[in-house]
Amino acid sequence: MISTKAVTIPVLAFWFVLGAQGFMPAAAAERVMMATPSRGLFEFPVVVAMRKGYFKDEGLEVRKIQMQPQIGVKALVTGDVDYLLAWGSALRAAVTGVPIKVVAAMAARPLHILIARPEIRSPQELRGKTVGVDSFAGTVDYLSRVAARHFGLNPDKDLKIIVSGESPMRLAAIRAGSIDATAIDVAFAAKAEEEGLKRLLNLAEITDLPLSGIGVTDRKLQTEREQVKKVIRATLRGTRFMKQNRAETLQLMTDYLGIKPSQAAGAYDASIGSFADDGFVSDKGLLLDIQLAKERIKMTKEIPLSQVVDWSLLKEIGEGSR
């Protein structure tokens, strides 16, 4: 009979050697599902974090799925997705009492340009025209209405607002003449201008409205707080990489967005200042967003900032890095 002790020691030694050489099985990564309303520059810190392996460094396997903002909110609440990148829709849901919080910002100001068909020579000529948005009550819809008011137009009376899909689809629609104008992602706006379409307004010049961030449920904040912090850390690394590595970021933009290098460069230079270094946005921007949400649903009740955002994880991450 062979001694159990005689077998056990060599086996343990064998696995110790394998472990020292890096052959021990790696711990399984946590799977995370993110919902994004469309493809665009607004989500780019997450895209960079995925492609540079920052989520992997945190032990996360991130998958990103595109869905309309309202559907994304429902999927978040039911647990079908873990995180929502549609800032505006998450915040507006929180205003109505849905147990959701925005925990970090990516773009603290709009990344959209209002463009129009070339025959529209001035913003006032939008009166009676058709404006395309990605969804009703979404961020692009909000920005279109803000732009209309900026030009002295009543969006409900002076414009016809229709759903025309995400940025590339709206760009195709304006080329085809089915819409006359749209607030479009700055990366695609550069492409549109090269094709002869007219730039009417950079939305970042007239509003502090935050554009993108990370939304989670209150339940996840209570039960999976460490995972949420990992997601935030990786995303902030993505933002820092964008700001510190222009050349490689332009390559990533060209590949992911399907635009020319010259268009990527123009979009980068016009938008990089809108991205939040530390994940925070100003109270002014938040209050503006809340006010717009209340106007849309005809609510008069005061909404505290703590109902819609939770900056505590950002603060913990900041303190932990000191």
**Neighbour-count burial of 162, counting CB atoms closer than 10 A to its CB (0-12 exposed, 13-18 middle, 19+ buried):** middle
Of the two residues 55 and 166, the one the predictor is more confident about is: 55
What is the spatial distance between Cα 29 and Cα 234, in angstroms, rounded to a whole number? 14
242 and 280 housed in the same domain: yes
Structural domain contains residue 135 = yes
Q: Using the 3D structure, point to which of 178, 205, 232 is the last residue of a domain.
A: 205
- 212 bridge partner residues: 107
39 and 183 housed in the same domain: no
pLDDT one-digit tens code per residue, 150-171 = 999 999 999 999 999 888 899 9
**Neighbour-count burial of 121, counting CB atoms closer than 10 A to its CB (0-12 exposed, 13-18 middle, 19+ buried):** exposed
Structural domain contains residue 23 = no
Structural domain contains residue 10 = no
Structural domain contains residue 73 = yes
161 and 277 housed in the same domain: no
pTM of the model: 0.79
105 and 116 housed in the same domain: no
- Mean pLDDT lowest for which of 228-237, 295-304, 305-314? 295-304
pLDDT score of 8 = 43
Structural domain contains residue 156 = yes
pLDDT one-digit tens code per residue, 166-190 = 888 999 999 999 999 999 988 889 8
Identity of residue 317: I
**How many structural domains are present in the chain?**
2
pLDDT one-digit tens code per residue, 214-232 = 999 999 999 999 999 999 9
Strands (E), 17-126: 30-36, 60-66, 83-84, 100-107, 112-116
What is the spatial distance between Cα 289 and Cα 208, in angstroms, rounded to a whole number? 9
105 and 223 housed in the same domain: yes
119 and 200 housed in the same domain: yes
Contacts of 10 (CB under 8 A, 6+ apart): none
98 and 235 housed in the same domain: yes
pLDDT score of 320 = 66
pLDDT band at 208 (very low <50, low <70, confident <90, very high): confident
pLDDT score of 24 = 44
Q: Which domain holds residue 140?
A: 112-205
pLDDT band at 26 (very low <50, low <70, confident <90, very high): low
Structural domain contains residue 269 = yes
pLDDT score of 322 = 52
Structural domain contains residue 179 = yes
What's the CATH code of the domain at 169?
Answer: 3.40.190.10
Of the two residues 296 and 85, the one the predictor is more confident about is: 85
155 and 280 housed in the same domain: no
312 and 225 housed in the same domain: yes
103 and 217 housed in the same domain: yes
199 and 105 housed in the same domain: no
Q: Using the 3D structure, point to which of 156, 185, 205 is the last residue of a domain.
A: 205
What is the spatial distance between Cα 110 and Cα 133, in angstroms, rounded to a whole number? 15
Which tokens is 225 given?
């707080």
- Nearest to 233, CA basis, from 223, 222, 241: 241
Give the 3-state secondary structure of residue 34: strand
Structural domain contains residue 19 = no
188 and 216 housed in the same domain: no
